Each structure stands twice: as C-alpha cells, then as structure tokens.
Amino acid sequence: MRCAFTRKYLAQMREKLQTIGPKTDELLLKYVAHPFADAHAKEYAHHGFARRIQTLARCIENVFRIVPPGAVQVPTKHRLTDVQINIQAALGNAYGCVDNLAWVGV
C-alpha cells in the first residue's frame, strides 16, 4: 500500500502539528489573563473555554499519534475506534469552545 500524501505535504502536517501546543498555550493565556468585568464571562472563559481548548488540542495530537499521516498499513479496528473517539471528542469540544465564547460575549 502507498501513502496518499506527498512527502512535502506530510512534512507540512508534521510541522503544523508541532505548533498546536504553543498556539493552544498562547490562546489559553490570553483568555485566562484577560481582566473580565463580568464574573459569568470569566467563568465561561476560565472553566469552559480553557478546559475545552486544551482537550481539543490533546485530541488532535492523539489522532496523529494513533494513526500517523505517513502510515502505509491499514490501521487495526482498535486504532480506528480510538481515532473515531478522539475525532468525536474534538468536534464536541470545538462546539463547546464556540458556545463558551458566545456566552463570554453575552
């Protein structure tokens, strides 16, 4: 079996993957350090958005660890199930991030 991605594209994916942690930390610090005037907005930012954005980043890292983009063998059913779980958790947390930020704005 052959890899479906070019070497150049795989290198770009690996490079972008390395930026997820630092970008997540930077975004997280902006929301945690922000001086919110409203206690509810602060709560949604600190305990909603901050928790979810970290979980989202971890899910992305897990997917790439479990089934690396350059893999040439078909993953086992167990690995595919783990990837599916992480993708579903990522989508749920992405929705939750948007919801938390909407409440911050309200």
Q: Is residue 2 in some structural domain? A: no
Its sign, for the CA torsion 75, 81, 85, 87, is: positive
The pTM of this model reads 0.86
Tell me the residue range of the domain where 90 lies. Answer: 7-105
Amino acid 6: pLDDT: 87
Q: What's the total number of domains in the chain?
A: 1
Q: Is residue 39 in some structural domain? A: yes
Please determine, for residue 2, whether its predicted confidence score (pLDDT) is greater than 70.
Answer: no
Amino acid 5: pLDDT: 81
Better-predicted residue by pLDDT, 6 or 89: 89
d(CA 81, CA 46): 31
Amino acid 70: pLDDT: 84
Token pair belonging to 37: 């005037």
Q: Is residue 55 in some structural domain? A: yes
Its sign, for the CA torsion 32, 34, 40, 45, is: negative
Amino acid 3: pLDDT: 65
Average pLDDT over the chain reads 93
Please determine, for residue 58, whether its predicted confidence score (pLDDT) is greater than 80.
Answer: yes
